[in-house]
């Protein structure tokens, strides 16, 4: 009898807890989520990590934090960044704390020992929270602009276009936001397949801390084109590769989109002097793909690069030259056999300038925007937004936020024709000065992919960085919840 009563009480509590959890996760208007149906609701908590920016004495780093205005005004929240220095980081002063959506906040750091950061946003500031880390190194071998959107921690990352060549120094940065150590495995793949790494297995990343690994210390081979695969055995991490070239400057190589049979690279600048494609086939099947360039006027086939063959388990690099021929474009890869596509990961290394005044940036394959994408730290006459609609024509809403020093947001609706790339300067905030954020929301039509180029020329060098703009995952599907009385049976 007592056992039955306890079972009934426990089941009732479980039902209440389950229903309560669904309400807390959704945190939306009950009318928007009718009983018995799933609904998409704003997330309640977001986590981001930012890698340590640079050890250069000449580096200056700006962090820009921003959350778009949502559909639920009045929800309170918080968003802040803390040093990833273990337990001591929790006692540090927050960097660029955000107090309201729709208005970006910036913080500038000039210390060469600036640590990695761990960030958390909650409540009304969680959906779509974005942080941009932009570093300018004015001189020296590592001169250039390093830009990256701080990333959500995950369990797997792919980095095509890394290198251990003699003129490159590539560091893999790993940041652990959690209270337990994470364990990570690192695999390297070259043109002939897997390369044996000396210390790539079981790398420990301390709790609320970070570690960086020079890729050339993992293998003896000087491999100019590599794919780095990071998998997490326990815990979760954020990951990025900092690539420094003795001739072409330095930038962050973000993780590529998940392996897929077809890939999109939105936003190759019009004045690119060299474009290199690096791809890796992740399955046991070779990948055969068609190559197209979505230009402003339409989709064309680059002469001499009509197809691409990528062998299973191997990294393939192709020099596409001055692919865009003076017009902004986007690279489109599609499987030759749509019925049995072999998945690949890929990234572009893009170079602007000539001779001693060259600068490089990376553009990995990018996921499409489902609901919304945001990029922070845009600057007047320095930002170029690129939108591509590989299939059908698409209508897109572009919103520029208020600036850090005031002003009001501005919204513009644009149309991207099928198979084309639209490269525009984002609309400027209404009055106000300083950095601003740009949000892209598909309105109608086919899938849309986007990126943002930030151009900060210095001393004749066309310094720049490109940030892909995948969906911000600011909402989550809350499954329907209904009582199941079968759990009451003993």
Total-model pTM: 0.89
Q: Do 88 and 23 share a domain, yes or no?
A: no
Q: Which residues of 146-159 are buried (b: 16+ CB within 10 A; e: fewer)?
A: bbbbbbbbeeebbb
The CA distance from 112 to 164, in Å, is: 24
Task: Classify residue 438: in a domain, yes or no.
Answer: yes
Q: Do 50 and 136 share a domain, yes or no?
A: yes
Q: Do 69 and 11 share a domain, yes or no?
A: no
- Final residue in a domain of this structure, among 225, 255, 285: 255
Neighbours of 8 (CB within 10 A): 13
Task: Show pLDDT as tens, one digit a residue, over the chain (490 residues).
Answer: 333 333 333 433 333 333 333 333 333 333 334 445 567 788 999 999 999 999 899 999 999 999 999 766 667 899 999 999 875 545 788 999 999 999 999 999 998 889 999 999 999 999 999 999 999 999 887 899 999 999 999 999 999 999 999 999 999 999 999 999 999 999 999 999 999 887 789 999 999 999 999 999 999 999 999 999 999 999 999 999 999 999 999 999 999 999 999 999 999 999 999 999 999 999 999 999 999 999 999 999 998 899 999 999 999 999 999 999 999 999 999 999 988 899 999 999 999 999 999 999 999 999 999 999 999 999 999 999 999 999 999 999 999 999 999 999 999 999 999 999 999 999 999 887 899 999 999 999 999 999 999 999 999 999 999 999 999 988 887 776 666 666 555 5
Q: Give the CA dihedral 161, 163, 166, 169, nearest 10 degrees.
A: 100
Residue pair 221/195 in contact by the 8 Å Cβ criterion: yes
Q: Which residues of 296-322 are buried (b: 16+ CB within 10 A; e: fewer)?
A: eeebeebeebeebebeebbbbbbebbe
- Final residue in a domain of this structure, among 230, 255, 280: 255
Q: Do 49 and 124 share a domain, yes or no?
A: yes
Task: Classify residue 325: in a domain, yes or no.
Answer: no
Q: What is the CATH number of the domain that holds 390?
A: 2.60.290.11
The CA distance from 42 to 69, in Å, is: 12
Q: Do 69 and 189 share a domain, yes or no?
A: yes
Q: Do 168 and 100 share a domain, yes or no?
A: yes
């Amino acid at each position: 009898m007592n056992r039955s009563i306890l079972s009934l009480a426990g089941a009732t509590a479980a039902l209440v807890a389950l229903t309560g959890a669904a309400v807390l996760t959704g945190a939306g208007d009950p009318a928007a989520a009718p009983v018995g149906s799933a609904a998409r609701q704003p997330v309640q908590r977001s986590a981001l990590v930012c890698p340590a920016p640079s050890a250069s004495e000449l580096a200056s780093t700006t962090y820009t934090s921003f959350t778009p205005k949502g559909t639920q005004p009045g929800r309170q929240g918080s968003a802040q960044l803390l040093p990833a220095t273990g337990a001591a980081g929790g006692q540090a002063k927050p960097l660029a704390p955000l107090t309201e959506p729709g208005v970006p906040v910036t913080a500038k750091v000039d210390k060469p020992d600036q640590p990695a950061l761990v960030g958390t946003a909650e409540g009304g500031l969680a959906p779509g929270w974005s942080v941009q880390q932009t570093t300018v190194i004015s001189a020296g071998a590592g001169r250039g602009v390093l830009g990256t959107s701080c990333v959500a921690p995950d369990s797997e990352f792919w980095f095509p276009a890394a290198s251990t060549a003699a003129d490159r120094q590539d560091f893999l940065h790993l940041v652990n936001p959690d209270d337990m150590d994470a364990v990570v495995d690192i695999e390297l793949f070259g043109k002939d397949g897997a390369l044996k790494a000396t210390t790539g297995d079981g790398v420990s990343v301390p709790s609320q801390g970070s570690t960086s690994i020079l890729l050339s210390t993992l293998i003896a081979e000087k491999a100019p084109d590599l794919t780095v695969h990071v998998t997490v055995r326990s815990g979760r991490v954020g990951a990025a590769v900092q690539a420094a070239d003795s001739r072409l400057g330095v930038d962050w190589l973000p993780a590529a989109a998940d392996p897929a049979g077809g890939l999109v690279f939105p936003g190759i600048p019009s004045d690119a002097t060299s474009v290199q494609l690096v791809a890796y086939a992740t399955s046991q099947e070779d990948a055969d793909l068609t190559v197209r360039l979505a230009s402003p006027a339409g989709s064309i086939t680059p002469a001499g690069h009509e197809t691409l063959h990528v062998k299973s388990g191997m990294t393939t690099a192709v020099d596409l030259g001055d692919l865009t021929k003076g017009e902004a474009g986007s690279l489109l890869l599609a499987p030759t056999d749509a019925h049995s596509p072999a998945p690949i990961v890929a990234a572009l290394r893009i170079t602007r300038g000539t001779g001693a005044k060259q600068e490089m940036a990376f553009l990995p394959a990018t996921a499409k925007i489902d609901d919304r994408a945001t990029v922070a730290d845009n600057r007047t006459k320095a930002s170029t937004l690129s939108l591509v609609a590989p299939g059908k024509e698409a209508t897109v809403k572009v919103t520029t936020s208020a600036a850090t020093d005031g002003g009001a947001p501005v919204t513009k609706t644009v149309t991207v024709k099928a198979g084309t790339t639209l490269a525009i300067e984002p609309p400027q905030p209404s009055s106000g000065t300083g950095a601003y954020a740009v949000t892209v929301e598909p309105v109608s039509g086919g899938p849309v992919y986007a990126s943002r180029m930030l151009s900060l020329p210095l001393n004749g060098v066309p310094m720049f960085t490109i940030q892909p703009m995948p969906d911000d995952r600011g909402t989550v599907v809350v499954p329907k919840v209904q009582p199941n009385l079968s759990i009451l049976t003993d």
